[in-house]
């Protein structure tokens, strides 16, 4: 029993050390690649600002890390098992009557703790970083000046008129993408210095090609009603598709805020299928990380009995790649509404764990 505890602690420490090493190496190369790519894009947009590229790369890095984190767990697991096999520690452990499960159980416990810690504490920070990255990228590289926000007070939209050097903040209780219609709308018109010029209160607003069409409009200047207009047109570069696409990507919202955001977004007339799928994927993330460890285990047992270790390591990486690709495909189906968010998020890790356990049992019996 004492040997079992010592071996479990030793394996957990080795796995954690390899996990931190793989995380550092991955972060370093991702940061360099993104820095080069962002510098190229900034230069292409006639703005050669290295500090801007550096800031964007730093803001983008956390989101990229959590995206490839399952692969980091896979590499760390394979390297840990390989290290044990190379030093014949797996052979010693198994000759002492310990099975592969004595190593897997503490490893799974460690990965579960890391997964829960990532979702509960780290993901909100990553969401904030991703939001700042997308906002800064839209303004500095893609030249998009409109921002969409959903709150309990409805839809808030910033629409800039580049020709007149002015902008307007639009508040509405809901948006119908199909009818391109806003209801109970307030237009706050500002100068380029931020000074409030006027306010329009409209019963109905329709988004037409290149302009807003406001109906039954009260015009306010200096906080006083000045006149009533049956209809008024305001120039815009926005389309209904842009509003839907740019409204709060799911990866920019904290895990804790996603359920309330989904409720508010659906009440405002937006499709929140992507956000539901993202929420379920975050819930399933600890299990998905564990599936990567379990996928690596059957190949590690083979290290003891085979001289072709490189082939086994490659097979483990390919298996993880297949699982990761399958997970992304299922996630895409869930985000598009073709399958349910729960099935989309939970089926890949559960299927991978079942297949991994089956393979371990087969190898152990063999």
Q: Give the residue, 366 or 43, on which the prediction is more confident.
A: 43
pLDDT score of 260 = 85
Residue, of 238 and 281, whose pLDDT is higher: 281
- Angle (CA) 69 72 77, round 5°: 130
pLDDT (tens digit, 9 = 90+) per residue, 184-203?
Answer: 888 888 887 878 888 999 88
Secondary structure (DSSP) of 212-244: EEEEEEEEEETTEEEEEEEEEEEE----HHHHH
The strand ranges marked E within 222-350 are: 224-235
Comparing 16-30, 203-217, 225-239, 240-254, which segment has the lowest mean pLDDT? 240-254
Q: How confident is the model at residue 1 (pLDDT cuts 50, 70, 90)?
A: very low
The per-residue pLDDT for range 257-295, each reduced to its tens digit, is: 889 888 877 766 667 788 899 999 999 999 999 999 998
For 332-341, what is the mean pLDDT? 87
For 202-226, write each residue's pLDDT tens digit.
888 888 888 889 988 988 887 666 7
Lowest mean pLDDT among 97-106, 212-221, 283-292, 299-308: 299-308
Q: Please tell me which residue, 301 or 64, carries the higher pLDDT value.
A: 64
The mean pLDDT of 144-163, rounded to a whole number, is 67
Confidence class for position 147, pLDDT limits 50, 70, 90: low
Q: Which helix (H) or strand (E) holds 159?
A: strand 154-161
- Kindly tell me the burial class for residue 171, based on how many C-beta atoms sit within 10 Å of its own C-beta (0-12, 13-18, 19 or more): middle
Check pLDDT > 60 for residue 307.
no
Of the candidates 36, 75, 70, the one whose C-alpha atom is nearest the C-alpha of residue 54 is: 36
- The confidence band for 163, taking pLDDT boundaries of 50, 70 and 90, is low
Question: Rounded mean pLDDT of 160-183?
Answer: 73
Q: What is the pLDDT of residue 246?
A: 59
pLDDT at 247: 64
Using alpha carbons, select from 239, 174, 172 the residue that is nearest to residue 212: 239
pLDDT at 4: 65
What is the band of 128 on the pLDDT scale with cuts at 50, 70, 90? Answer: very high
Mean pLDDT computed over 54-58: 93
Residue 141 three-state SS: coil
pLDDT higher at 261 or 109? 109
pLDDT of residue 8 exceeding 80, the answer is no
* DSSP letter assigned to residue 10: H
Could you give the 3-state DSSP secondary structure of residue 1? coil
Residues of the chain with pLDDT > 70, as a percent, come to 80
Domain residue ranges in the chain: 2-141+271-365, 148-237
* Residue 180 pLDDT class (50, 70, 90 cuts): confident
Average pLDDT, the chain: 82
Q: Tell me which range, 6-15, 18-27, 332-341, is most confidently predicted by mean pLDDT.
A: 18-27
In terms of average pLDDT, the best of 32-36, 187-191, 358-362 is 32-36
What is the predicted pLDDT for the residue at 59?
94
| Cα separations in angstroms, 330 against 318, 335, 349 | 18, 9, 11
pLDDT of residue 346: 95
**How many CA atoms does the CB half-sphere of 319 hold within 13 Å?**
25
> What average pLDDT does range 108-123 have in this prediction?
95
Catalogue the E-assigned strands of 1-64.
Answer: none
Asked whether the beta carbons of 37 and 44 are under 8 A apart, the reply is no
Give the model's confidence band at 342: pLDDT under 50 very low, under 70 low, under 90 confident, else very high: very high
φ/ψ of 271, rounded to 5, equals: -80, 120
220-234, 285-299, 321-335: segment of lowest average pLDDT: 220-234
- CA 12, CA 10: separation in Å to the nearest integer? 6
């Amino acid at each position: 029993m004492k040997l079992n505890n010592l071996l479990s602690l030793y394996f957990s420490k080795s796995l954690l050390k390899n996990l931190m090493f793989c995380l550092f190496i991955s972060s370093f190369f991702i940061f360099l690649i993104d820095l080069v790519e962002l510098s190229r894009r900034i230069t292409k947009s006639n703005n050669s600002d290295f500090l801007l590229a550096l800031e964007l790369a730093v803001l983008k890095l956390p989101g990229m890390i959590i995206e490839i984190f399952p692969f980091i767990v896979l590499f760390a697991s394979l390297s840990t098992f390989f290290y044990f096999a190379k030093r014949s520690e797996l052979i010693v452990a198994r000759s002492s009557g310990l099975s592969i499960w004595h190593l897997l159980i503490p490893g799974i416990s460690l990965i579960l703790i890391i997964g829960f810690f990532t979702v509960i504490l780290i993901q909100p920070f990553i969401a904030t970083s991703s939001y700042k990255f997308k906002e800064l990228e839209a303004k500095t590289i893609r030249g998009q000046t409109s921002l969409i926000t959903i709150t309990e007070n409805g839809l808030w939209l910033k629409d800039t008129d580049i020709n007149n050097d002015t902008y307007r903040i639009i508040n509405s209780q809901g948006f119908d993408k199909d009818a391109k219609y806003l209801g109970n709308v307030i237009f706050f018109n500002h100068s380029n210095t931020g000074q409030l010029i006027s306010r329009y209160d409209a019963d109905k607003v329709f988004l037409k090609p290149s302009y807003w069409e406001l109906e039954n409009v009260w015009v306010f200047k200096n906080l006083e009603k000045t006149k009533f207009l049956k209809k008024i047109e305001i120039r815009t570069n926005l389309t209904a598709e842009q509003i839907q696409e740019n409204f709060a990507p799911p990866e920019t919202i904290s895990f804790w805020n996603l359920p309330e955001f989904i409720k508010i977004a659906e009440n405002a007339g937006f499709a929140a299928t992507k956000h539901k799928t993202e929420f379920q994927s975050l819930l399933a993330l600890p299990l998905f990380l564990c599936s990567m460890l379990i996928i690596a285990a059957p190949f590690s047992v083979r290290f003891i009995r085979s001289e072709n270790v490189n082939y086994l390591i490659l097979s483990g990486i390919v298996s993880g790649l297949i699982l990761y690709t399958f997970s992304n495909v299922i996630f895409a189906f869930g985000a598009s509404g073709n399958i349910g968010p729960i099935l989309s998020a939970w089926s890949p890790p559960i299927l991978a764990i079942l297949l991994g356990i089956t393979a371990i049992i087969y190898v152990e019996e063999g």
